[in-house]
């Protein structure tokens, strides 16, 4: 069954900030009492059916009124010349279209990685090897050429229902289709687990958004968070 935008938004927010949300059946909701405390006061999102406000419970009515007045302008996603202070804008995307290359082509380029590939991962990113091999990172998919790991897709965020993609490619190996192949194989592995693959990127990260489109992902939400 295809997940609705409301469900996808809940899965995305829970995965990124390790919080707990109620079902998003109203336009205004609060984090559940047992939820972790995120760094933001408000997470606002525009989806097909309208706008959703997700509040941290400790935000006062006065602060909520002030933040509401800022949401329209920020969610317009106008180009910015400098970093936005105290807020973050991102696009959340779901796998709903056919990737630019088929499964056979993707699997001919990328393959699953295991602990036996530790030396490759250590060379790829020495400081992050333990993080990549953490039990919460699978599926771990890599592109290995001439004994060298060039691109690596992993679950940057993982819950009982969904995985969000993390993709890293060496600068000299970009624009060769490696990240695309790894992204596609990663999604197939996630789907085989019965989980929902989700892709998100900062609104300003055009390269990542182009990769998402090539891999079959389409936007389901514009999301902005206002930090405390």
Q: Which residues contact 92 (CB under 8 A, 6 or more apart)?
A: 8, 9, 12, 45, 198, 199, 200, 219, 220, 221, 222, 223
Q: What is the pLDDT of residue 80?
A: 63
Look up the pTM and report it. 0.92
Measured distance CA(137)–CA(112) in Å, rounded = 12
Is residue 1 scored above 60 in pLDDT?
A: no
Q: Are 225 and 203 in contact (CB under 8 A)?
A: no
Q: Per the structure, how many domains does the chain have?
A: 2
Residue finishing a domain among 40, 59, 93: 93
Inter-residue contact 226 to 87 (CB < 8 Å): yes
Cα–Cα distance for residue pair 228/226, rounded to 1 Å: 7
Residue 184 is predicted with a pLDDT of 98
pLDDT, residue 132, reads 87
Regarding whether 31 and 126 lie in a shared domain, the answer is no
Number of other residues whose CB lies within 10 A of the CB of residue 38: 18
What are the E-state strand segments in the chain?
Answer: 28-30, 40-47, 50-55, 87-95, 111-112, 141-145, 148-158, 162-169, 196-202, 217-227
Q: What is the pLDDT of residues 35-57, one digit of tens each?
A: 999 999 999 999 998 999 999 99
Among the three residues 93, 117, 136, which one is the final residue of a domain in this structure?
Answer: 93
**What is the structure's pLDDT at 71?**
93
Check: CB of residue 19 under 8 Å from CB of residue 38. Answer: yes
The reported pLDDT for the residue numbered 209 is 97
Q: Which domain holds residue 37?
A: 5-93
* Domain stop point among 93, 127, 159: 93
- Angstrom distance (rounded) from CA 137 to CA 225: 25
- Are the beta carbons of 27 and 210 closer than 8 angstroms? no
- What's the pLDDT tens digit per position in 68-117? 999 998 998 887 655 678 899 999 999 999 999 999 999 999 999 988 99
**178 with 109: CB under 8 angstroms?**
yes
Q: What is the CATH number of the domain that holds 146?
A: 3.40.630.30
Tens of pLDDT, residue by residue over 129-177, are 888 888 888 999 999 999 999 999 999 999 999 999 999 999 999 999 9
Whether the per-residue pLDDT at 63 is higher than 50: the answer is: yes
Q: Are residue 144 and residue 134 in the same domain, yes or no?
A: yes
Residues 22, 9: Cα–Cα separation, whole Å: 11
* Whole-number pLDDT of residue 126: 86
Instruction: Looking at the structure, tell me whether residues 70 and 158 fall in a common domain.
Output: no
């Amino acid at each position: 069954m295809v997940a609705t935008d409301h469900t996808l938004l809940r899965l995305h927010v829970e995965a990124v900030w390790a919080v707990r949300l109620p079902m998003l059946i109203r336009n205004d909701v609060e984090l559940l009492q047992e939820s972790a405390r995120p760094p933001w006061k408000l997470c606002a999102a525009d989806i097909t059916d309208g706008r959703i406000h997700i509040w941290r419970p400790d935000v006062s009515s006065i602060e909520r009124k002030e933040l509401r007045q800022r949401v329209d302008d920020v969610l317009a996603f106008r180009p910015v010349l400098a970093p936005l202070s105290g807020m973050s804008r991102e696009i959340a995307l779901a796998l709903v279209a056919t990737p630019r290359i088929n499964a056979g082509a993707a699997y001919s380029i990328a393959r699953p990685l295991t602990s036996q590939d530790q030396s490759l991962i250590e060379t790829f990113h020495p400081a992050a090897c333990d993080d990549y091999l953490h039990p919460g990172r699978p599926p771990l998919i890599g592109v290995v050429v001439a004994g060298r790991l060039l691109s690596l897709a992993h679950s940057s965020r993982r819950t009982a229902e969904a995985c969000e993609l993390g993709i890293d490619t060496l600068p000299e190996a970009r624009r060769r289709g490696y990240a695309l192949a790894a992204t596609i194989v990663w999604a197939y592995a996630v789907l085989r687990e019965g989980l929902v693959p989700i892709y998100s990127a900062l609104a300003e990260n055009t390269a990542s958004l182009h990769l998402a489109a090539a891999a079959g992902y389409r936007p389901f939400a514009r999301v902005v968070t206002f930090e405390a």
